[in-house]
Structures are given as C-alpha cells and as structure tokens.
Structure 1
Amino acid sequence: MFSIGDFAGLGRVSVRMLRHYDAIGLLPPAHVDQHNGYRSYTAAQLRTLNRIVALKDLGFTLHQVRALLEDKVDTGEMRGMLRLRRAELAAQVDRDNLRLAQVDARLRMIEIEGHMDTGDVIIKSIPPLRIAELSAVAKSYDDPSSITENLTPLYPRLMELMERAGVPMTGSPIAYYRPAPTGPEDETITVHAAFPIGDVEVGPDPGFDVVVLPEIEQAATALHEGSMSEAFRTGQKIANWIDDNGFRTVPPGYAREIYLDCPPDDFTKWLTEMQVPVIR
C-alpha cells in the first residue's frame, strides 16, 4: 500500500487531484484509516489512474471518463484511442508550426516593405500545355495548410496512375487553382496537381483527367526559393511589379506554380516558378 503522497508521485499527478478523484467517486483509495482519515492506494490502482489521465488527455470530461471506466475499456481499445489522439495532436503541431513559420515570414516581409527588389520579375508568354491532372477542394487560397493537405497527396497518386497507363511525364510538376464557390460566402478553391504529357496518347479511363491549359499571352513570372508556405513573399514581389509597371491581373488572379526542383527532404531548397497572368 502507498500513502496518497507516494501514490501521487508514482502516478505523476497532484495530491489535490487524487482527492478530487476520490470525492467524485472516480478513484477512491483502497483503504481509508478510520482514525486519522489517511488514504492508501495499491500498485494495481496505478492502471486505473493511467487510464483516467489518458482519457482526459483524449479530451474526455471526468464524467465521460467514469462512464468509460465503468464500461471497462480494455488495453487494446485504450491503445487505439491514444494512437488516434496522438496522430491528431501531431497534425495540430504541424499546423501550428506552419502558422508560426508564416507569421515569421510575414514579419520579415513587413520589415522590408518599401525596399523590395522586383528586378527579377520577368514578363513572358506561356504556350498551351497538355497535362494529366487530379484535383481536390481546399478551404481557401489563403489557407496554406489546407492547400498542402489536399494538393500534396495528389502527386504520388497521379504518378502511380500515369505509370499504370503508360503515360510518361514530359516536364516539371505543376499546380494551379480555380475558384470552387457554392455560395456567395464560399472561399473554397479547386487545387489541381498536374504533369505535362505533350502529345502522348492516353487510353480510355486512365483514372486521371487530360486537359489543355490555355495559352497565357502575358504572365508576370518570378522564381520562388524555399517552402511554398512562404509563397506569398514572391507573390508580393510580383504584385509590386504589376502595380509599378501598369499591368493588372487576369481574374481570378491565382498564380500557376511550376515546381522546378523539389528535394523531398528539404523544403528550404525548393525552386518554383510562379506565373501570374496579366494584361495592360
């Protein structure tokens, strides 16, 4: 048997918390001394305590925890629930890290406002391009995490389908975007993952779409170095150039992205050409 203090230490919870669990009938001590009221616990009760803490970490209220314990959640179910919660938390950490990186990048942008060099923006024409593509819907063009979550998985799937259909890619990966509104307040966009395929013949029902991207008579283009989560830096540069040179964007104004070099293990070394259609 262990005193409440020793049991709290072993379970890495506070004595106050154990008293609360006792008060609500969630984890009563194994023994209470009738004379001095001291609580004592057994080693076996640590299993119950571990389950309580784990279920709390999953987001359950103490009332829900008690109901689950009464239903006798077994070790396998608990392991599965914890793994699911771990995956959710890891995804949240990734999203938060992405937001933090974006905040840092925007702070750097603010620091150089008014001193941005637009000399490497080039105006050029983009010929029609026949592509194989897959598409998905993302929350918003302003939500990089949603774009990444929906766009990135399309490329390996598209490569698999193209290989199965015997269709080789003839150029760098491409991403482009189109509005996908279902109402006046809808900001969702369709994200397209594509590979150029030239004039290669494609059989029926390959599992992907074959389309021809139309010619862009004039595009303001610039190279973006680094993660696409910071693509707004280059977008700002292009916007400044457009404004300074008397151009305006062609609606909807989204940039086409050509991924020239994409080391899978180092986003900081990515090299992407951003192409924004413009007119005078």
Structure 2
Amino acid sequence: MLSIGDFAGLGRVSVRMLRHYDAIGLLRPAHVDPHSGYRFYTAEQLLRLNRILALKDLGFSLNQVQLMIEEKVEPGELRGMLRLRRAELAAQVERDNARLALVDARLRMIEAEGHMNTGDVVLKQVPAVRVAELSATALGYDHPTSITENLSPLYPRLEELLLRAGVAVTGSPLAYYRPAPTGPEDETITVHAAFPIGDAEVGGAEGAGFDVVVLPPIEAASAVHQGPMSEAFRTGGRIAAWIEENGYRPVPPGYAREVYLHCPAELAEWVTEMQVPLDGTEIATGRN
C-alpha cells in the first residue's frame, strides 16, 4: 500500500485534495490505520483518481463526477453530457481564438500609432435605400464577439424569409446599429441585418416575418475595410482621424453603417465598406 503522501505524488495531486475527496466520499482510502488515522491507498486506485481528474478537467462539478464514477448515470445520459461539454469547450476555444485575434489586431494598431493613413477615406453622398431587415440585441458596440453572434444568424434567416415571400435582393447586404431603447444606463445596442429590395412589392410584410424600412440619405466618411469585422476598429480609426483632420463631426453616437461587398468563407478576405454618417444627417430609419 501507498501512504497518502506517496499516492498524492504519483497522482500529481495535493494531500489536501485527497483528504477532501475522502471527506465527500469521492475517493476513500483503501485502509485507514485505526490508531494513527493515517490513510493508505493502492496503486489500482490511481485509475479512479485519473478518471476523477479527467472529468473534473472537463468542467464537471464534483457531484457530477461522483455520479459518473459510481455509474449512477445511464450510458446514454453520460454520452449526452460529454457531447454537450465538448460543444461548450469548442465554443469557448472559438471565442478565445477570436479574442486572441482581436488582441493581435489591436497590438498592430498600437504599433502603427503616429503613422495613421487616411488617404483611403472619402466623403460620400449615400442615397436613401429601402431594405428588408431583421434585428437583435447585442452587448454593445465595443463587444465585437457579441455583435457577430447576434448579427450573423439574421442574414440566412432573412434570406429564407425573402425567398419565401418572393422578394428579390437588389444590392449588397448591410448592417447598421442603434442604441437599444432600454434606458440611458444600458450600453446594449440593436443590430440590424438588412438587404436592399428596391421598389419590390411586399404584401403583408409583418406576416412575412421581417420589417421593411427606408434608410435615409446620409453624407458619410467612407472607407473600405479588408479583413474580418472583428478588426473593423482599424478602419474605424482611420475614418475617425480623417473626420478630425477635415473638421467634421460624426452623427452621435458615431456608429458606422456597414455594406458587405465581398463575404467569402475566409474571413481574412472579406471586403466591407464602412460609412460613418456626418453631422447634419440622420441614421434613424423611417417606416415604409
């Protein structure tokens, strides 16, 4: 038999953890000396310890681990729990990779400070456009991951609704943002996914499941952004520098309208026009 210290060393855990596992009945010692109270374990118990640690590393609670170890969970239920946890971990990895890419992009922007190129920003008159749209709520304009998670699913759903309604799309998809109307302390925003539909007849739009609105004409500082929208702040920085240099002011709160010109599967190859409305124009939509 192995002393608790030796067993802890071989299992790469602390003695304190083994005592806790004993206290909750998750991993009892093979033998406890009745006189000294010393705990002893067998080498075979390392298999149970390894299973405990593996399940714990997957994010399961100790109560869940105990049920699994003691086979109080049906095999089908256990498979379902493991698949769910795998999906959660995969989603977390995707979110972490997105955050890492965002950090790298911001580092590149910081390194380029003092060398801001505003030559590709132009003053543009954007005509009114009639669109079909769906909307959702995201955490805020400074939470690109939340914007992507809430905005992206709207486009395929809107495409399906337009196809069902027999309404043709007449231009590139676009997005615009407005503060959510829930109070001044709330930083959430409403994200709008839209397709231009021109003068197409839309009978009973409410029953079709989407809204039809007219985005008013705007005078905008416009620039083309190349790459994933998680890095749109780089182009936003160029537009902001141009606005300041040329004595303009953005329409508060300065949200850009985005026109997706090219959207392949590879996000690095995306081409998006960003249009920041300038003072004296409107970004609010008008019902039609």
| 1:210 corresponds to | 212
Residue 202 of structure 1 and its aligned partner are, at CA, apart by 1.2
Residue 67 of structure 1 and its aligned partner are, at CA, apart by 6.5
Alpha-carbon separation, structure 1, partners of 2:196 and 2:214: 9
| 1:228 corresponds to | 229
Alpha-carbon separation, structure 1, partners of 2:185 and 2:14: 51
Q: What TM-score comes out, normalization by structure 2 length?
A: 0.82
Task: Tell me which amino acid in the other structure corresponds to 2:238.
Answer: K
Per-residue Cα deviation, 1:208-238 (whole angstroms, up to 9, x for no partner): 111111111x111000000100000000000
- Do 1:32 and 1:40's aligned partners in 2 also have CA atoms closer than 8 Å? no
Task: Tell me which amino acid in the other structure corresponds to 1:201.
Answer: E
Residue 41 of structure 1 and its aligned partner are, at CA, apart by 6.0
Alpha-carbon separation, structure 2, partners of 1:53 and 1:113: 46
**Aligned partner of residue 220 in structure 1, secondary structure:** strand
Per-residue Cα deviation, 1:169-201 (whole angstroms, up to 9, x for no partner): 111110100110422321000000111111111
Pairing 1:62-141 to 2, within 5 Å after superposition: 62=62, 65-66=65-66, 72-141=72-141
Is 1:58 equivalent to 2:59 in the alignment?
Answer: yes
Alpha-carbon separation, structure 1, partners of 2:47 and 2:174: 55
Alpha-carbon separation, structure 2, partners of 1:2 and 1:208: 69
- Do 2:55 and 2:65's aligned partners in 1 also have CA atoms closer than 8 Å? no
**Aligned partner of residue 208 in structure 2, secondary structure:** coil
- Do 1:27 and 1:49's aligned partners in 2 also have CA atoms closer than 8 Å? no
RMSD value, Cα? 3.2
Alpha-carbon separation, structure 1, partners of 2:199 and 2:120: 32
Per-residue Cα deviation, 1:214-270 (whole angstroms, up to 9, x for no partner): 111x11100000010000000000000000001001123110000000112x11110
| 2:258 corresponds to | 257
After superposition, the Cα gap between the structure-2 partners of 1:50 and 1:21, relative to the gap in structure 1 and judged at 3 Å, is same
Alpha-carbon separation, structure 1, partners of 2:153 and 2:63: 39
Task: Tell me which amino acid in the other structure corresponds to 2:240.
Answer: A
- Do 1:172 and 1:260's aligned partners in 2 also have CA atoms closer than 8 Å? yes
In the alignment of these two chains, the number of paired residues is: 274
Alpha-carbon separation, structure 2, partners of 1:122 and 1:19: 68
Task: Tell me which amino acid in the other structure corresponds to 2:200.
Answer: V
**Aligned partner of residue 132 in structure 2, secondary structure:** strand
Alpha-carbon separation, structure 1, partners of 2:57 and 2:93: 19
Identity rate, percent: 65
Pairing 1:6-85 to 2, within 5 Å after superposition: 14=13, 21-22=21-22, 24-28=24-28, 39-40=41-42, 46=47, 50=51, 53-55=54-56, 57-60=58-61, 62=62, 65-66=65-66, 72-85=72-85
| 2:244 corresponds to | 243
Alpha-carbon separation, structure 1, partners of 2:148 and 2:268: 15
Q: What TM-score comes out, normalization by structure 1 length?
A: 0.84
Residue 272 of structure 1 and its aligned partner are, at CA, apart by 0.3
- Do 1:221 and 1:274's aligned partners in 2 also have CA atoms closer than 8 Å? yes
Ranges in structure 2 where 5+ consecutive residues have no aligned partner: 281-288
